[in-house]
Amino acid sequence: MSHKLKVGELKEFYLTDEEIWRIFTVVLSSKSVKSSTYKYALVKSLIENLYQVNDQFELTYDQLAFSFTKIYWNLIVHHQLIHQNRGKTARVVTIIKEEQTKHSIPSEMIFDKIDETLQVRLVRQVKTTMKENVYGALYGDTRGKFYAFDHKQEVLKLNAAVHSFMLNYQRLIVNLTNYHMATMIEELNEVPSINYLLGKVESIARRSSLRPFEKVLLHYFNADCFYCSKTLTGAKRETHVDHFIPWSFVQSDHIWNLVLSCNKCNSSKSDKLPKRNYLEYIIERNDELNDKKEDATITNLMKNYKHKKIIMLYDYSIKNGFDTVWTP
Ligand SMILES: [Zn+2]
């Protein structure tokens, strides 16, 4: 049984887009009896960490478990969609429900609002469950072609071809995954309709607040709008943290993709890509951030950042249909 594996090696390196699509389609839509929402959550976690890989296309179990836990916390606690599995209760549900009950956490509380020590404890437990039930299972479903994994090193290494495929078709993959995940959750829970669920599933990876990033940026930079240079006086609802490459594409919050912006620029930019010359500005800005290495928070937040990543992200978002450029 592949889910019992402790190590999985890559069975094939060279895959065409067509082969990858075929495997993806089967994995996402399979209706096997044992199917659970785990595979969708893992795909979503991989997408969220796509730009955090190191030069060997590796991700740590900690990175993945953090995204995975956030997704389930928001589904189970915040949206009260408990049934994630056919038959017996999924282990990750038990872990999360237990901690929620123990600390009497109200359901309004989304993952990034809960106490950090509790986050860490949850992530640690979920990481163990992922070793037992998740990595091996998806590895088997993808016939060992998408990634290698090692429980001892706690590392997942993406196939380079799959990494580039995921970048190329990121938007489609996200939409497909959300759709199939919502369909399965609808089958397992008594909920009104798939339209209702899709909206919830689309937002489960989203952070509620970018305040911690705002604090860091305000600490190191002048309180100016990144786009129009207007001074941000700190008046109510004036200072925003904007995703330079839109969140709906990048599906994650990395400080190297976040800038301070005024209310006017933030709302007029909305889901659009800034004009290309801003790419140079953000690269310069990130250089400055990289120079703050004496601050451990920055070192951590800028881990695995390279200029080529944000350039790549910019180009991939155009390929994925973000082709209306915005300028203030
Ligand atoms: Zn502005």
Q: What share of the chain is helix, strand, coil (3-state, %, to 5)?
A: 55, 10, 35
Q: How far does the centroid of ligand 1 lie from the alpha carbon of residue 282, in Å?
A: 15
Contact 288, 237 (CB under 8 A): no
| 131 Cα distance to chain centroid | 19
Q: How far does the centroid of ligand 1 lie from the alpha carbon of residue 9, in Å?
A: 49
Task: Tell me how far CA of residue 272 lies from CA of 50, 170, 206, 242, in angstroms.
Answer: 21, 16, 18, 11
Place of tokens 């800034």: 274
Question: In a 3-state reduction of DSSP, which class is residue 265?
Answer: helix
Task: Tell me how far CA of residue 117 lies from CA of 7, 114, 123, in angstroms.
Answer: 30, 9, 10
Q: How far does the centroid of ligand 1 lie from the alpha carbon of residue 286, in Å?
A: 19
Among positive and negative, which fits the CA dihedral 107, 108, 111, 114?
A: negative
φ, ψ for residue 60 (rounded to 5)?
Answer: -85, 155
Q: How far does the centroid of ligand 1 lie from the alpha carbon of residue 313, in Å?
A: 23
Going from the first residue of the chain to its last (328 residues), give the mean pLDDT of each consecutive group of 10, the final group possibly shorter: 79 90 84 72 94 94 96 89 78 93 90 92 96 92 94 97 94 90 84 76 80 92 96 89 92 92 95 95 95 86 89 89 89
Of all residues in the chain, the percent with pLDDT exceeding 90 is 57
Cα–Cα distance, 131 to 6 (Å, whole number): 8
Contact 281, 307 (CB under 8 A): no
Contact 282, 252 (CB under 8 A): no
Predicted TM-score (pTM) of this structure: 0.81
The reported pLDDT for the residue numbered 30 is 65
Tokens of 278: 């801003």
Q: How far does the centroid of ligand 1 lie from the alpha carbon of residue 235, in Å?
A: 14
Task: Tell me how far CA of residue 242 lies from CA of 203, 233, 237, 266, in angstroms.
Answer: 17, 17, 13, 6
Tokens of 236: 């109510």
Cα–Cα distance, 328 to 226 (Å, whole number): 10
Q: How far does the centroid of ligand 1 lie from the alpha carbon of residue 241, in Å?
A: 11
Q: How far does the centroid of ligand 1 lie from the alpha carbon of residue 11, in Å?
A: 50
The reported pLDDT for the residue numbered 231 is 96
Q: How far does the centroid of ligand 1 lie from the alpha carbon of residue 215, in Å?
A: 18
Q: How far does the centroid of ligand 1 lie from the alpha carbon of residue 202, in Å?
A: 28
Q: How far does the centroid of ligand 1 lie from the alpha carbon of residue 230, in Å?
A: 6
- Say which amino acid occupies 229: S
Tokens of 14: 């060279």
Q: How far does the centroid of ligand 1 lie from the alpha carbon of residue 270, in Å?
A: 12
Q: How far does the centroid of ligand 1 lie from the alpha carbon of residue 225, in Å?
A: 5
Contact 116, 123 (CB under 8 A): no
The reported pLDDT for the residue numbered 310 is 93
Give pLDDT tens digits for 198-252: 878 887 777 778 988 999 999 999 999 999 999 998 888 899 999 999 998 888 8
The reported pLDDT for the residue numbered 33 is 47
Q: How far does the centroid of ligand 1 lie from the alpha carbon of residue 36, in Å?
A: 45
